Amino acid sequence: MKRKVHGFTLVELLIVAVVLAIFAAIVVPQFASTTDEAKESALKSDLAAIRSAIDLYRQQHSEYPGVVAVGTAPTCDGGTAGANDTALNAFAPQLTLYSNAAGHTCSAKDTDFPYGPYLRDDGIPADAVRNVATVVIPNVAGGLNSLTMGADASAAGGWKYSNVTGKFIANIDATDSKGVRYDAY
């Protein structure tokens, strides 16, 4: 007696392949939108963290970060002094290093630099949508910063900040998956 070997017919295999293709066509776009939503959520989270750091800095220093410190800086013992010559150069060190009441910064904490850091050591994070970490502080006559805070028309990502108002936004001239402008977050 011979046993007959049974297998799948070509038609059965084609039906399974078609069903899998239909399933993939339904599921794959769902994952693509999930990725966009995750980036948008990360952007909102980064904005919240940076805005909180800006607010805490203002509470302790009576001015927003990015204001150039005046007067002679104390010696930065055991560390490196942060840049402080322009608003843009002062902004990141004032949030990521230790600081004194005047806003001078140092990488090491001591009695002369009791405040901060307000953000992690790795600095200002890149925006989660375009992966750009650049901070733009718009300048107007007299060295003050613009109070107009929309994204620049050519904005390819990063951040925009006013050290006059403390407003910090995503510098992205585009809309999210729900049609909301990133600079309105």
Q: What is the pLDDT of residues 19-45, one digit of tens each?
A: 999 988 887 776 666 788 889 999 999
Q: Which tops the pLDDT comparison, 57 or 138?
A: 57
Q: CB neighbours of 91 closer than 8 A, spacing ≥ 6?
A: 65, 66, 124, 135, 137, 161, 163
For residue range 147-163, what is the model confidence (pLDDT) as tens digits? 566 667 667 788 999 88
Q: CB neighbours of 123 closer than 8 A, spacing ≥ 6?
A: 92, 96, 133
For the entire predicted model, the pTM comes to 0.78
R_g (Cα) of the chain, nearest Å: 26
For residue range 68-120, what is the model confidence (pLDDT) as tens digits? 888 888 888 888 898 888 888 899 999 999 999 999 999 999 899 999 899 98
